């Protein structure tokens, strides 16, 4: 790829989301919007190769896109008029054309509208993620495929199908009403957090593509804080992602072996991520009581503020988990809460919470439930019970490293 092509790639990445967002507003058709944007880009490429890239490529692209949109619209009209299908009144045609004329006027909410559409509840989670990364974050199909360890045709098809589905359902392109807004924002947040976790818990060796997803998610999240600044949870989501990624450099050894929080070298935590995370959390606080993302961010913030593991405010963390478990009583949250309670008030307080989960049969296949129980029993010096629980955890463990680790702890308890 030459310098010129590289530069165009960069310009596409910067300009395409805005271009597609504006085109979607006037065409009310994502596929068509993307088509016209690409058309405009191809036209620009031809002209810029000889004439050079103009000082304001975005405005330039917008002008070409506008012309293309009007051309297409007129061509379709002529076609329909010929076949006698045209039912549009002249007045209607004029109103569409004047809407297209307004293409380059930033009506402000174009990007937000595009996010809402890409994350429409009608679509599957996978489709929302692919569409958001493609249209809002400006990633190529190839980049998305690499990040999700799948083939390019798979992602391309997923995107095509999603766009078709949205077109067939004739979903409205207007911004959702105030009453609906919070619900729709949470589908956008869910997609962003999914992308983040996909990158954060990447399972493949030295692949740097997947962690780049963390950066994409953060970029989308930061954008959303400016597009929907009124929502505390959006700020909280960014806080949570900043605080989690602040530990990236400390959370694994060079060979990929994870380092537990207790053993992490806190000097390797990224202070600027922490600072940004804490100030986003503050903004979330200013906007009212914390929601699920806010509480998780607040928990991460307690860790971030502790100079050493020993200085961690476990009482604070346990209280935050109490609130989180009330709001989101999933077994995993409740198990986390049990661990926090154990750290704050001792294993005796944690054990009943763990037993409750076991009695319900929740997380039956999850090795961490017996592992957490074993840990509590060990601390209470009930060694033979602890050994049994560790053994059970070992049989449930999904990989060899975990299994060996749990067997070792079982053996240690048996020998006490």
Partner 1 sequence: MRFMVMVRSTPDIEAGVLPTTEELTAMGEFNERLAKAGLLLEGEGLHPSSKGARIRFDGENRRVIDGPFAETKELIAGYWIVKMQSKEEAIEWFRQAPCFNNGGTLEIRQIFEAEDFGENITPELREQEARLRIGGLGT
**Which residues inside 257-316 make contact with partner 1, applying CB under 8 A?**
257-262, 268, 270, 272, 276, 296-297, 299-300, 303, 314
Per rule CB under 8 A, is residue 331 in the interface with partner 1?
Answer: no
Beta carbon nearer to partner 1, 130 or 397 = 397
CB of 296 to partner 1, least distance (A): 4
Look up tokens 């661990």; give the residue. Answer: 339
Q: In whole angstroms, what is the distance from residue 411 CA to residue 387 CA?
A: 7
Per rule CB under 8 A, is residue 190 in the interface with partner 1?
Answer: no
Residues 194/207, Cβ–Cβ less than 8 Å: no
User: And the tokens for 216?
Assistant: 């994409």
Per rule CB under 8 A, is residue 152 in the interface with partner 1?
Answer: no
Among 83, 90, 254, 311, binds partner 1 (CB under 8 A): 254
CB of 297 to partner 1, least distance (A): 6
Beta carbon nearer to partner 1, 173 or 293 = 293
Beta carbon nearer to partner 1, 177 or 254 = 254
CB of 55 to partner 1, least distance (A): 7
Contacts 24+ apart (CB under 8 A), 203-207: 204/149, 205/256
CB of 138 to partner 1, least distance (A): 9
Residues 393/374, Cβ–Cβ less than 8 Å: yes
Residues 133/114, Cβ–Cβ less than 8 Å: no
Q: In whole angstroms, what is the distance from residue 124 CA to residue 245 CA?
A: 27
Beta carbon nearer to partner 1, 187 or 296 = 296
Residues 358/389, Cβ–Cβ less than 8 Å: no
Per rule CB under 8 A, is residue 201 in the interface with partner 1?
Answer: yes
Among 163, 184, 235, 247, binds partner 1 (CB under 8 A): 247
Among 65, 118, 185, 371, binds partner 1 (CB under 8 A): 371
Size of the site for partner 1 (CB under 8 A): 81
Beta carbon nearer to partner 1, 207 or 356 = 207
Per rule CB under 8 A, is residue 158 in the interface with partner 1?
Answer: no
Among 335, 351, 377, 387, binds partner 1 (CB under 8 A): 335
| Class of residue 294 by CB neighbours under 10 A (exposed 0-12, middle 13-18, buried 19+) | buried
Residues 280/242, Cβ–Cβ less than 8 Å: yes
Per rule CB under 8 A, is residue 372 in the interface with partner 1?
Answer: yes
Q: Which residues 343-362 are close enough to bind partner 1 by CB under 8 A?
A: 343
Per rule CB under 8 A, is residue 1 in the interface with partner 1?
Answer: no
Look up tokens 């997380």; give the residue. Answer: 363
Per rule CB under 8 A, is residue 214 in the interface with partner 1?
Answer: yes
Beta pairing partners, 252: 258
Residues 37/67, Cβ–Cβ less than 8 Å: no
DSSP, collapsed to helix, strand or coil, labels residue 188 as helix
Among 219, 382, 407, 414, binds partner 1 (CB under 8 A): 219
Which window, 64-72, 93-101, 238-246, 382-390, contacts partner 1 (CB under 8 A)? 238-246
Of the candidates 212, 48, 245, the one whose C-alpha atom is nearest the C-alpha of residue 140 is 212
Residues 234/221, Cβ–Cβ less than 8 Å: yes
């Amino acid at each position: 790829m030459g310098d010129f092509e590289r530069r165009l790639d960069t310009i596409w990445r910067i300009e395409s989301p805005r271009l597609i967002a504006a085109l979607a507003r006037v065409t009310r058709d994502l596929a068509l919007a993307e088509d016209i944007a690409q058309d405009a880009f191809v036209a620009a490429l031809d002209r810029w190769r000889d004439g050079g890239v103009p000082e304001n490529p975005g405005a330039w692209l917008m002008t070409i896109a506008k012309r293309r949109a009007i051309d297409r619209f007129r061509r379709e009209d002529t076609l329909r008029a010929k076949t006698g299908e045209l039912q549009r009144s002249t007045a209607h045609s004029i109103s569409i054309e004047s809407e297209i004329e307004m293409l380059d006027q930033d009506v402000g909410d174009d990007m937000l509208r595009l996010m809402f559409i890409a994350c429409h509840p009608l679509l599957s989670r996978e489709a929302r993620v692919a569409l958001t990364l493609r249209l809002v974050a400006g990633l190529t199909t190839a980049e998305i495929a690499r990040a999700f360890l799948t083939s390019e045709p798979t992602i391309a098809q997923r995107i095509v199908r999603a766009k078709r589905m949205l077109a067939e359902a004739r979903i409205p392109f207007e911004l959702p009403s105030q009453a609906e807004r919070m619900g729709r924002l949470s589908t956008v947040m869910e997609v962003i957090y999914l992308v983040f976790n996909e990158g954060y818990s990447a399972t493949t060796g030295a692949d740097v593509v997947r962690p780049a997803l963390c950066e994409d998610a953060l970029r989308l999240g930061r954008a959303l804080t400016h597009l929907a600044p009124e929502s505390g949870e959006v700020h909280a989501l960014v806080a949570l992602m900043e605080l989690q990624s602040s530990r990236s450099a400390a959370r694994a050894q060079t060979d990929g072996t994870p380092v537990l929080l207790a053993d992490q070298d806190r000097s390797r935590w990224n202070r600027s991520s922490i600072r940004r995370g804490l100030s986003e959390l503050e903004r979330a606080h200013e906007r009212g009581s914390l929601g699920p993302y806010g509480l998780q961010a607040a928990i991460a913030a307690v860790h971030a503020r502790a100079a050493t593991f020993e200085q961690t405010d476990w009482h604070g963390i346990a209280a935050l988990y109490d609130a989180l478990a009330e709001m989101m009583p999933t077994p995993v949250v409740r198990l986390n809460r049990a661990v926090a309670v154990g750290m704050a008030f001792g294993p005796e307080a944690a054990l009943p919470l763990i037993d409750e989960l076991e009695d319900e049969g929740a997380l039956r296949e999850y090795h961490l439930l017996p592992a957490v129980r074993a840990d509590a029993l060990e601390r209470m010096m009930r060694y033979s019970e602890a050994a049994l629980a560790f053994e059970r955890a070992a049989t449930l463990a999904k990989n060899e490293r975990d299994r060996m680790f749990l067997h070792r702890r079982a053996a240690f308890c048996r020998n006490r």
